[in-house]
Structure 1
Amino acid sequence: MTDDGTFSIRPAGRHILTIGRDLIQDPYAAVVELVKNAFDADSEYVLLEFNADSEAGKYTIVVSDGGHGMSRSDVVNRWLVPSTSDKLHRKTSPNGRILQGRKGVGRFAASILGDDLLLETTNKSGEKTSVFIQWDVFEQADYLDEVDLLIDTRTVSQMPGTILTMQGGRVGLEEWNDAQFKRLKYELRKLTPPTTAISGIEIKQEKFDIRLKVSGFAGVPDADETIDSFPILEFYDYMISGHVDERGLGKLRYSTQKIDNASSEEFDVDFSDLYEKTCGSLKFDIRVYDRDKDDIDQIIRRGLKDREGNYLGNLAARQLLNLNNGIGVYRNGFRIRPLGDAQYDWLKLNQQRIQNPSRKIGSNQVIGFVHIESEEKSGLVEKSARDGLKENTAYNRLIEITQSVIEQLERRRFALRRSLELGKPKSRVERQISQLFTNDHVKVDIVTRLERSGIDAKVTREISDILSRDMAEKNKAAESIRQTVAVYQGQATLGKIVNVVLHEGRRPLNFFKNQVPNLDYWASVFNDNPTSDNLSKILPIANELGHNAKVFVELFSRLDPLAAGKRAESHLFKLASTLDGALKVFETTMSDLGIKAALEGPSDFEFLGWKEDFYAIFTNLIDNSTYWLREKRVASPTITIRFEIEEGKLAHIDYRDNGPGIDKALIETEVIFDPEFSTKTDGTGLGLAIAGEAAARNGLELKVLESADGAYFRLQPVSGGVL
């Protein structure tokens, strides 16, 4: 305190431990911080030596590098200054490396690794400076400026570099067990992305080896190795890579090794609607592995071997995936912990997989690398405790964009697996029912074998009659199942478009809510004073009540086919009127979105089938169109339905919109008709599956066709003829 009443903040002595031992979450993070400092010093390597003396109950950790070292002035004015802004302002090392340190506290992480620290650093001029620190001195001191440190400087003839020596006692010695060292190797292996994972990434390839030596620890094999990348990385099943710029526009490449010599696919993406605030430019390398036994065997056959060159077994390969999975986030070539840890599912992949296991991937199936820009460009700020990124708007955008990139891979993976008949068999309900109950071929085969065996013709006819009656009963049951499924699918479609129903009914409902009290009021006034003026207050409200009641009646009549509790027999109905009714279900929604709808075809044509099935088909198609036309903010959105008649029968119905369209790969595999497949966010994948089943019940097939201008579906007779 000075005489004029001003004060200076005096940090407590334990402040150093607060920003070191207390702030850094674990010893792995502390080692990583010291490794980054070696990189910032322009060293081509960092050597980590862990030596134990079990009898004496102590251990030593030595971290050394061959960098440019520090002068006495650097040690006093930078290294010993907590939270220095030196690296923040310099940004690059003398040799041009982008500096990893920014907070000015990483070196104090050494306090978690031992009881004391000896710093020995030599610069290019041969000036060697040594500082010895005992951490408990700071614990005991009232104020930081009361701690005196002895600094020794002399001239030597040795190569430049820095050596940090830390020693600890029996408590720390017991913590460094085999599991701890395995985790340390894992952290070091994931610290920097392998060369194969940064192809096309604008990161300067720096020579920087991490060498680990371990000796003398009980139950821990001695080791002397250079940390290398994951051996499983190149044997992926599916990969997506590329970039997305700060506007949300990008180019991605998808490839697979599930098929020999499969060509890769390059495509543009537009996530601009997710970029209310930028998270900067992003670059991706994401690899996915199927984990069924046969899939693991296939990965091994691609060349997955151990260090001795022997092929791994299925269990060992699975354990390798268990240990090394995760999508890491990297800045300037170094991972930001814990993003990418096998147990840290920051993208909520497992949560999404629970909802849709056949299509979504789990966190234990993926090894990925997401490269981000500097804090200034991206807004992605690393926490001081080295436990991730601050959860701000930019971080939320990072999650959204990364999930969208993974979705592109998942969509293509799902289509490929279905085309290869992997996972859930590709089969529609109608086909399954037919396979289960239609047994004509069984009857013919049995009768033929009986005849060839010389069985009496009368017995053969009796057996044939028994089989015919059994088949008739089963086919009757099959038809009952078909009709029940149709009812459920109609009601599922109604539930699927319930938001449309609510939207259509909201306006008349609001009118009733607001105007019925007014009608009651003026009716009471008119009852007491029946004048023409008071009557004029009632009549407009009464007229509007009738109009809005009519809106409800028409809405429910349009929805009635989907809500039917049972199915009637097939009957003739006017196709144009039915298609127009399906469009009118979405009348208000399309009006709000500015969607122009057109229906073309003869108004008097009648089709023999089920009207409710056509409602199910076209309400699902229209619902999809309105979703994508709104989602992609299409200018001048349109929906067109056109049907043609040949010789008095239906030739086909074409349904088109001018939305974003459908990927060619999805069209070729027709995977969009499979249940559970959806390209919508949180989509159920039921819509087109229901539409396809409803078409089949009417002797039709719903096909998706390629189009340069939006989605294009065609409904036509199964035989390719007319109905």
Structure 2
Amino acid sequence: MTVESDSPQGKALRPRARIMRTLGEELISSEVVAVIELVKNSYDAEAGYVSIRFDGKLEVGEGSVSIEDDGHGMSLTVVEGSWMEPATNNKKVQRSSHILKRRFLGEKGVGRFAAARLATDLELTTRALESDKEVYAYFDWSQFDNEDAYLDQILILAEERVPQEFVRGRTRPFDAPGPHGDLRRDGSHGTLLKMNGLKRAWGDKEVYSLKKSLSRLISPFDGEKGFKIFIQLPGDYAEQPRELEPPEVLKYPHYTLSGRVDKHGDFEFRAELHASSIVEAFTGKLVNSDVKDRGVVEFVDGKGGRPLVCGPFSFNILVWDRDQLDNIDQKLGTGIHDIRRDLDSIAGVSIFRDGFRVLPYGEAENDWLKLDIRRVQNPTMRLSNNQITGYVKIGADENPLLKDQSNREGLDNNSAYSELQEIIRLALSKLESLRFRDKKSAGADDASRKSDGALLAVPDTAKLRQLISTGADSAETLHLFDETTKAWENQVGRIREVLSRYHSLATLGQLVDKVVHDGRQPLSTIQTQSSLLIESLSKALKKLDGSSECGKYLEGIHARLLRVKDAAGLIDLVLKRIEPLGGRKKGRPTKVYINEIIKNAFSHFQADIESLGINVTLPAADDLIQVDAHELQEVLINLIANSVYWLSNVPKGQRAILVQCTRPAPRELDIIFADSGPGVSKGNKSAIFEPYFSTKPDGVGLGLVIAGEMIRDYYNGSLELLNSGPLPGAVFRIKLRKRV
């Protein structure tokens, strides 16, 4: 770019011609995106259909792609003015179309230059509504490759002519939406872009990607019914273009999740389990937590937190169990392999703005909700990206902060986008909890469920022993033997599943040990040396005049060293707090004060407790017991972490945790742990001690399982959820009967 004299007062910018190549080829990230941008232009032009046609050999420098629509078309004035003007603001001045009132999808005025990404030249033919002339223009994109040429030196050939392409009464070669007022759909208006000399080869992979993206461009759930997309490829046996539609598998989901969130954060979610005829509705209020990094929370009552900024939106999500697709095969008869392929093609949650899809959300490789990471952490309960398809419906006017990045590939990664992610995951967690409980209920007749539910419970062999001892009928004995064997196999399977997670925790414990061990030596050096320096500086300052330049300089160093020493003290405190969570071998129970164990456990969460304003009431008496302090602290940390999480969902001033200790009998101890949070719903009470069950959007579901197993195995005790207690939220009782 250079400058030219424009007036005595200043200079005018004069861009090089290659800026058009930049707009067309660098702002548009791929050929598929380029086609979609041009399809969006057809939608904005109030077209009833758009047809994409490939001709010739789809190799570099050969073949062509044409995009035709029956929109309102353009006059010569519009072509020479608005259409050929980069970054025109027409669609910002007027945000919706004249007749159909469609919200414009393109606002940056660069979408049309996607044509430069696709081919070396462009033939534009267009006829405006009620015009008796047709406009023809020719663009040779190679002109813009001239490094020495300026943009104002490039000539575009455009002329009016007698209509040749758009002639009234022309029969459409395929079914398109009917007339709408002045838009007669009679062939007398529209736009045709013919791009010759392809810049990239189109193989099977690229064509498949384009068809998949176009089939999902309009929401299949409630999209624009007056706009159809057709495609025709070289070698197609059908003479007419084929309409792109989503696969029929969408009609047969196993689970459905829908919902809406208004501008105030009030939400309504609805989860449906079709095979079980279970429908559950959820309502409440969402706010952004007043705790740093806590994000969106479901507020139970009153006012609190910060209002959402993502704006109102709705969503609809379909879910499948991919190992149970026989019902779909019953309907379609295409085979499980093809059904899974169709599910792969539509996998993911798309975002639709004003009825049109925002790329790349919903692409199989674009797991924008990070569902696969959640599933790795909790494979039993969480859904993966390839199990779901759906849409999130937003609007440009209603959701101004959910705006495009400049390359048209996704939304700006701002606070509104983060809120949207968190809310969809929160809604999914409600369906996941319901699905988990239903699967558990469906398997209630399994032999593995005849035990007391404990992970390490031994299947009952008493009946088998009795039959053998009495010499009962061999068939009956064999049947009972098979049932008992199956119960053992199921129990071993459960143990293996949980042990795989415990192994990860054991590795984490070893890492904690290494961090503590390796961190203590340099930390000790920092503490010792800073203390010695502070002592030396204090002596020097006593000898110097504090008002001298040197004295002031040393006072500054002294103050900074004090801050270093304080910071080292904080690091030392953190290491002491995480040391009990390491992988060291547990020791024998020792005599300790239970109130000190509880205090130490709460110290891990001091910052969260203060920021949330939680009123904590702990036992004050020095009650001497005999336990492994580190084991019990691990149990308490799990309970505290859950309470701190859920207490952010209730108003400030109503957040409380209460811990009480009693001795119901000699060598026994009861610990009551209660909070004022939302509590555990009736439907979830039987599931919270199951491995991997969690109502947190990103919960792993092992905290209570581990805590319960430790209490049961080490102390012959129990961890119970009580129906009521001293506070209105969740109330747990830890009962220790051994080693106390």
Distance 1:564 1:115 in 2: 68
Quick one: structure 1 residues 567 and 213, their matched pair in 2 at CA, closer, same or farther if it must change by over 3 Å? same
The answer for the alignment partner of 2:175 in structure 1 is: none
1:144 correspondence with 2:145: no
The answer for the alignment partner of 2:221 in structure 1 is: 195
Find the residue that maps to 2:56 and give its secondary structure: strand
The answer for the alignment partner of 1:378 in structure 2 is: 400
Distance 2:577 2:370 in 1: 43
* Contact 1:286/1:327 (<8 A) preserved: yes
Shift of 1:369: 1.0
Distance 1:557 1:398 in 2: 35
Once the two structures are superposed, the pairs formed by residues 206-221 of structure 1 within 5 Å of their partners are 206-216=225-235
Distance 2:160 2:242 in 1: 34
1:660 correspondence with 2:678: yes
Letter in 2 for 1:100: L
Find the residue that maps to 1:179 and give its secondary structure: helix
1:711 correspondence with 2:715: no
Shift of 1:335: 0.8
The answer for the alignment partner of 2:103 in structure 1 is: 98
Shift of 1:21: 3.9
1:17 correspondence with 2:21: yes
Quick one: structure 1 residues 401 and 513, their matched pair in 2 at CA, closer, same or farther if it must change by over 3 Å? farther
Note the alpha carbon deviations across 1:265-303, whole angstroms, 9 max, x for none: 2232524223677233332222222222xx2224545x4
The answer for the alignment partner of 1:528 in structure 2 is: none
Letter in 1 for 2:30: D
* Contact 2:21/2:145 (<8 A) preserved: no
Note the alpha carbon deviations across 1:678-722, whole angstroms, 9 max, x for none: 44576543331123224434555433345693212345799xxxx
Quick one: structure 1 residues 230 and 705, their matched pair in 2 at CA, closer, same or farther if it must change by over 3 Å? farther
TM-score by length of 2: 0.70
Match among 185, 189, 192 for residue 164 of structure 1: 192
Distance 1:7 1:519 in 2: 62
The answer for the alignment partner of 1:359 in structure 2 is: 381
Structure 1 spans left out of the alignment, 5+ residues: 199-204, 306-310, 454-483, 526-548
1:229 correspondence with 2:246: yes
Find the residue that maps to 2:429 and give its secondary structure: helix
Distance 2:57 2:144 in 1: 27
Shift of 1:100: 1.2
Once the two structures are superposed, the pairs formed by residues 368-407 of structure 1 within 5 Å of their partners are 368-374=390-396, 377-407=399-429
1:77 correspondence with 2:105: no
Shift of 1:377: 4.1
Aligned Cα root-mean-square deviation (Å): 5.1
Quick one: structure 1 residues 15 and 665, their matched pair in 2 at CA, closer, same or farther if it must change by over 3 Å? same
Distance 2:652 2:55 in 1: 66
Match among 458, 461, 473 for residue 435 of structure 1: 458
Distance 1:177 1:588 in 2: 57
1:278 correspondence with 2:309: yes
Letter in 2 for 1:323: S
Shift of 1:253: 2.0
Distance 1:31 1:315 in 2: 30
The answer for the alignment partner of 1:2 in structure 2 is: 5
Quick one: structure 1 residues 428 and 253, their matched pair in 2 at CA, closer, same or farther if it must change by over 3 Å? farther
Task: Tell which deviates more after alignment, 679-688 or 79-88.
Answer: 679-688
Identical-pair percentage: 28
Distance 1:16 1:691 in 2: 64
Match among 175, 179, 184 for residue 201 of structure 2: 175
Match among 284, 287, 291 for residue 318 of structure 2: 287
Letter in 1 for 2:210: L
Letter in 2 for 1:260: S
* Contact 2:116/2:141 (<8 A) preserved: no
Distance 1:126 1:488 in 2: 75
Find the residue that maps to 2:157 and give its secondary structure: coil
Quick one: structure 1 residues 452 and 226, their matched pair in 2 at CA, closer, same or farther if it must change by over 3 Å? closer
Shift of 1:563: 9.9
Match among 642, 656, 662 for residue 638 of structure 1: 656
Shift of 1:40: 1.3
Which structure has greater helix proportion? 1
1:259 correspondence with 2:275: yes
Distance 1:694 1:356 in 2: 21
Match among 694, 698, 703 for residue 687 of structure 1: 703
Quick one: structure 1 residues 151 and 600, their matched pair in 2 at CA, closer, same or farther if it must change by over 3 Å? same
Letter in 2 for 1:287: L
Quick one: structure 1 residues 105 and 608, their matched pair in 2 at CA, closer, same or farther if it must change by over 3 Å? closer
Instruction: Count matched residues.
Output: 625
The answer for the alignment partner of 1:540 in structure 2 is: none
The answer for the alignment partner of 1:184 in structure 2 is: 210
Kindly name which structure, 1 or 2, has the bigger radius of gyration based on alpha carbons.
1
The answer for the alignment partner of 1:112 in structure 2 is: 117
The answer for the alignment partner of 2:640 in structure 1 is: 622
* Contact 1:242/1:284 (<8 A) preserved: yes
TM-score by length of 1: 0.71
Find the residue that maps to 1:109 and give its secondary structure: helix
Distance 2:538 2:355 in 1: 78
Letter in 2 for 1:107: R
Match among 343, 353, 375 for residue 321 of structure 1: 343
Match among 50, 55, 59 for residue 54 of structure 2: 50
Letter in 2 for 1:334: F
* Contact 1:42/1:93 (<8 A) preserved: yes
The answer for the alignment partner of 2:553 in structure 1 is: none
Distance 1:665 1:488 in 2: 31
Quick one: structure 1 residues 586 and 490, their matched pair in 2 at CA, closer, same or farther if it must change by over 3 Å? farther
* Contact 2:139/2:157 (<8 A) preserved: no
* Contact 1:642/1:655 (<8 A) preserved: yes
The answer for the alignment partner of 1:63 in structure 2 is: 67
* Contact 1:428/1:693 (<8 A) preserved: no
Find the residue that maps to 2:248 and give its secondary structure: coil
Match among 249, 258, 261 for residue 244 of structure 1: 261
Distance 1:124 1:558 in 2: 73
Shift of 1:137: 5.0
The answer for the alignment partner of 2:480 in structure 1 is: none
* Contact 1:64/1:161 (<8 A) preserved: no
Shift of 1:588: 8.5
Note the alpha carbon deviations across 1:497-546, whole angstroms, 9 max, x for none: 99xx99xx9xxx99997997699789999xxxxxxxxxxxxxxxxxxxxx
Letter in 1 for 2:14: R
Find the residue that maps to 1:133 and give its secondary structure: strand
Note the alpha carbon deviations across 1:624-672, whole angstroms, 9 max, x for none: 32443357664243223457888999898653210232344322x32x2
Distance 2:58 2:616 in 1: 82
Quick one: structure 1 residues 235 and 124, their matched pair in 2 at CA, closer, same or farther if it must change by over 3 Å? same
Distance 2:507 2:616 in 1: 25
Quick one: structure 1 residues 558 and 645, their matched pair in 2 at CA, closer, same or farther if it must change by over 3 Å? farther
Distance 2:93 2:632 in 1: 67
Distance 2:244 2:37 in 1: 16
Distance 1:76 1:411 in 2: 58
Structure 2 spans left out of the alignment, 5+ residues: 169-185, 290-294, 297-305, 476-498, 541-568
